[in-house]
Amino acid sequence: MPYPRDHKEKTRQKILTAAFRLFSMHGFEGVTIDELMASCGLTRGAFYAHFSGKAELYQQALSFSASDTILAGPRPKKMSSKRWLSEMLGHYLSIEHIEGHRPCPLAFLATDVTTQNDQTRQTYAEIYAEMNRAIFAIANEFGDCQEKDIPAITAMMIGAVAIARTMNNSKQASDLLACCRKEISSKLGLDD
């Protein structure tokens, strides 16, 4: 019996999802193709039907995971821009996020990506630029946010999540996230 028409794409997405999860936990060097494919219940041969090598997989997993973040999703109907940005910020700077609920690749791979090839670093930079554009577009709908301030805001968001993920003390992690959320809310005009 032949596979359904969408089988190959579903398999590719399964591999990308597992790859991002494993890369987020162990870094590029800490993940083997055999481990990845075993976690998917697939063979090593199936890997090469989708990717030419681990470096291509890493770059593709980075892009794929960025498309699944809360920021990449549509704003719910009848929700104001201000409320939507406030809710996104609340999710981004939350314990649930640092525990892996719709994780942001910018924060989860922040240090690991520096050791990757130029193309992967370029993909990371493009995702970061898109995050800046998206946040500015939303913030600009309700306030007088300055575009030049957005990179500092997003760097604080990404850094706070990356640092909070390293903390063994959940109270300290929560405090860090809350402090950054308050500062960013003020800069974006969300606290009035």
Tens of pLDDT, residue by residue over 143-186, are: 888 999 999 999 999 999 999 999 999 999 999 999 999 999 99
Q: Do 64 and 172 contact (CB within 8 A), yes or no?
A: no
How far apart, in whole angstroms, are the C-alpha atoms of residue 22 and residue 83?
Answer: 33
Report CA Rg, the chain.
Answer: 18
Helix (H, G, I), strand (E, B) or coil at 58: helix
**Looking at residues 82-99, what average pLDDT do you find?**
94
Cα–Cα distance, 147 to 126 (Å, whole number): 17
Return d(Cα 74, Cα 103) in angstroms, integer.
17
Q: Residue 80 contacts by C-beta under 8 Å, 6 or more apart in sequence?
A: 142
Arithmetic mean of pLDDT over the chain? 92
